[in-house]
């Protein structure tokens, strides 16, 4: 049996960009190593969750790991909270949160991400103050910051249950069932948490909404007094005086174990808490990595080394690389292109010489497209290539969205990928 390297480049897919000569960032990037793989591959294009769906990363990852998200997904909040080690039982209410900046005298939001420059260390001090000073009536909570302005919150009703059928206080996301859906247009005002339509009479939802609103009010009071924010004010930086809740869930997903499901031993490389949560709940081993730094080249080199080391212990490695998604959300197509080139040079460039196709299958794809043009995830399919020796390659010279559509694998949906990869390694 060959080894499988399942490499997912977050938000890789894009649309042609005029300033790149009508090419996508992937198409325009200089990526000799990925193109070496392309020559020995079969290609196709993938709707990771389904056609006409612009998925969030978590739902997409669940799907491309072989699970029907409609059956298993219980919301982003529970996944991230679990990943961060917050204890969560059925009937607890778990949120994904952002630190944000609002006007002191009103509910108008100035920046949903505190200018993207709140450090993890600052957020940690703010979280500590919130846990120490905020008290809720009839409930307890655990609050934890994760990376930068991001964090998680679990509220537990004393001696009872809460319902997650409540709306987001973050105006940028709609709640549709267990899914969080990014809104294209929204008014930048803190939303009051309420039971979702049709659940107005649910006691557990009313209580959940009241506790959430109370948490927001009390945490803002603590944050506005915090020395962390006073320092930021002095430095003319936006202050973190608001917690925005979204994607509440009331239980953890129960996945069948991935290694048993496909009869291969899985390890993984993941960076973001939500991916860690999915990895742990599906039964993959997490290969520990140092936190990402500003030196992307160094980070990718290190990851390539760790992959080679870990390949001895596992049949398959799932490797999720965050690189291209973030610049795409800011519409920075040149930075997205650079991030692809760095991944090619330092990750693939260090990996390929040490993991010959003779005994390794490379499956390279993405969890969703993030077109720079719209600065958000889209329903566009993502390209896929599966490179291996002993197959009849499609004869395509370069890996990109356009070429993937000409590949022999044709159109696929996320849950079809894992069973397909298994046929290549066995």
* Cβ-proximal residue to Zn ion, closest one: 57
Q: Closest separation between CB of residue 63 and Zn ion, Å?
A: 12
Question: Which C-beta is closer to Zn ion: that of 35 or that of 271?
Answer: 271
Question: Which C-beta is closer to Zn ion: that of 8 or that of 223?
Answer: 8
**Of these, 7, 10, 47, 173, which contacts Zn ion (CB under 5 A)?**
10
Tokens of 188: 């930048």
Q: Closest separation between CB of residue 100 and Zn ion, Å?
A: 18
In this structure, how many other beta carbons lie within 10 angstroms of the beta carbon of residue 24? 26
Site for Zn ion in 111-170 (CB under 5 A): none
Binding range to Zn ion, per CB under 5 A, among 7-15, 46-54, 130-138, 232-240? 7-15
Residue 247 touches Zn ion, criterion: CB under 5 A: no
Question: Which C-beta is closer to Zn ion: that of 12 or that of 134?
Answer: 12
For 384, residues 6+ apart whose C-beta sits below 8 A from its C-beta are: 43, 44, 45, 46, 363, 364, 365, 404, 407, 409, 412, 417
In this structure, how many other beta carbons lie within 10 angstroms of the beta carbon of residue 257? 12
Q: Is 344 helix (H, G, I), strand (E, B) or coil?
A: helix
Print the binding letters for residues 51-90 with Zn ion: x by CB under 5 A, - otherwise: ------x---------------------------------
Q: Closest separation between CB of residue 43 and Zn ion, Å?
A: 21
Question: Which C-beta is closer to Zn ion: that of 23 or that of 320?
Answer: 320
Q: Which of 308, 170, 303, 298 is nearest to 246 (CA)?
A: 170
* Nearest-angstrom CA–CA distance, 130 and 145: 11
Query: How, if at all, do strands 316-321 and 3-9 pair?
Result: parallel
Question: Which C-beta is closer to Zn ion: that of 171 or that of 349?
Answer: 171
Q: Closest separation between CB of residue 308 and Zn ion, Å?
A: 25
Binding range to Zn ion, per CB under 5 A, among 9-17, 154-162, 181-189, 250-258? 9-17
Q: Closest separation between CB of residue 11 and Zn ion, Å?
A: 5
Is 29:337 a contact under the CB 8 Å cutoff?
A: yes
Q: Closest separation between CB of residue 337 and Zn ion, Å?
A: 17
Q: Closest separation between CB of residue 76 and Zn ion, Å?
A: 12
**E strand map for 119-265:** 139-145, 150-157, 173-176, 179-182, 242-249
Question: Which C-beta is closer to Zn ion: that of 122 or that of 325?
Answer: 325
β-strand partners of 95:
153
DSSP 8-state secondary structure symbol assigned to residue 136: B
Is 186:171 a contact under the CB 8 Å cutoff?
A: yes
* Nearest-angstrom CA–CA distance, 32 and 29: 9
Q: Closest separation between CB of residue 60 and Zn ion, Å?
A: 6
Residue 325 touches Zn ion, criterion: CB under 5 A: yes
Cβ burial of 177 (10 Å; 0-12, 13-18, 19+) is: exposed
**124-to-150, 170, 192 alpha-carbon distances in Å:** 10, 21, 26
**Diameter of the chain by CA atoms?**
67
Q: Which of 394, 363, 365, 409 is nearest to 262 (CA)?
A: 363
Print the binding letters for residues 285-324 with Zn ion: x by CB under 5 A, - otherwise: ----------------------------------------
Q: Closest separation between CB of residue 367 and Zn ion, Å?
A: 4
Q: Is 23 helix (H, G, I), strand (E, B) or coil?
A: strand
Q: How many residues bind Zn ion (CB under 5 A)?
A: 5
Residue 275 touches Zn ion, criterion: CB under 5 A: no
* Nearest-angstrom CA–CA distance, 423 and 73: 27
Q: Closest separation between CB of residue 322 and Zn ion, Å?
A: 8
Q: Closest separation between CB of residue 7 and Zn ion, Å?
A: 14
Q: Is the dihedral of CA 178, 180, 181, 184 positive or negative?
A: positive
Question: Which C-beta is closer to Zn ion: that of 57 or that of 191?
Answer: 57
Print the binding letters for residues 356-395 with Zn ion: x by CB under 5 A, - otherwise: -----------x----------------------------
Question: Which C-beta is closer to Zn ion: that of 11 or that of 151?
Answer: 11
Question: Which C-beta is closer to Zn ion: that of 12 or that of 425?
Answer: 12
Site for Zn ion in 11-30 (CB under 5 A): 11
Residue ranges that bind Zn ion, judged by CB under 5 A: 10-11, 57, 325, 367
């Amino acid at each position: 049996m060959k080894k499988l390297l399942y490499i997912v480049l977050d938000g890789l897919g894009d649309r042609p960009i005029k300033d790149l000569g009508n090419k996508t960032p992937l198409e325009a990037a200089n990526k000799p190593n990925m193109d070496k793989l392309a020559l020995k591959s079969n290609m196709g294009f993938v709707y990771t969750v389904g056609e006409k769906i612009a998925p969030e990363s978590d739902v997409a990852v669940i799907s491309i790991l072989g699970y029907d998200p409609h059956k298993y997904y219980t919301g982003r909040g529970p996944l991230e909270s679990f990943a961060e080690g917050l204890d969560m039982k059925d009937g607890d209410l778990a949120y994904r949160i952002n630190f944000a900046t609002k006007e002191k005298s009103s509910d108008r939001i100035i920046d949903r991400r505190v200018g993207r420059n709140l450090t993890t260390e600052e957020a940690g001090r703010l979280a500590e103050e919130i846990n120490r000073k905020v008290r809720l009536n009839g409930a307890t909570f655990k609050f934890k910051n994760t990376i930068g302005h991001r964090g998680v919150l679990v509220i537990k009703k004393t001696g009872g249950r809460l319902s997650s059928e409540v709306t987001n206080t973050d105006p940028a996301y709609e709640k549709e069932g267990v899914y969080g859906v990014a809104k294209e247009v929204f008014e930048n005002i803190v939303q009051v948490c309420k039971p979702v339509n049709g659940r107005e009479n649910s006691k557990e939802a009313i209580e959940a909404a009241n506790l959430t609103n109370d948490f927001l009010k009390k945490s803002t009071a603590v944050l506005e007094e915090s020395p962390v924010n006073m320092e930021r004010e002095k430095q003319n930086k936006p202050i973190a005086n608001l917690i925005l809740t979204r994607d509440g869930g009331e239980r953890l997903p129960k996945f069948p174990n991935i290694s048993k499901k496909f009869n291969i031993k899985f390890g993984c490389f993941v960076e973001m808490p939500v991916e860690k949560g999915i990895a742990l709940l599906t039964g993959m081993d997490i290969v520990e990595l140092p936190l990402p730094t500003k030196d992307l080249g160094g980070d990718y080199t290190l990851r390539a080394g760790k992959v080679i080391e870990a390949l001895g212990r596992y049949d398959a490695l799932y490797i999720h690389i965050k690189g291209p998604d973030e610049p795409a959300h800011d519409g920075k197509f040149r930075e997205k292109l650079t991030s692809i080139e760095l991944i090619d040079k330092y990750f693939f460039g260090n990996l390929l010489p040490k993991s010959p196709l003779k005994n390794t299958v490379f499956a390279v794809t993405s969890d969703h497209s993030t077109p720079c043009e719209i600065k958000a995830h889209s329903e566009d399919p993502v390209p896929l290539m599966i490179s291996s020796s002993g197959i009849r390659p499609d004869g395509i010279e370069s890996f990109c969205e356009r070429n993937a559509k000409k590949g022999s694998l044709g159109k696929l949906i996320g849950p079809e990928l894992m069973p397909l990869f298994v046929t290549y390694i066995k």
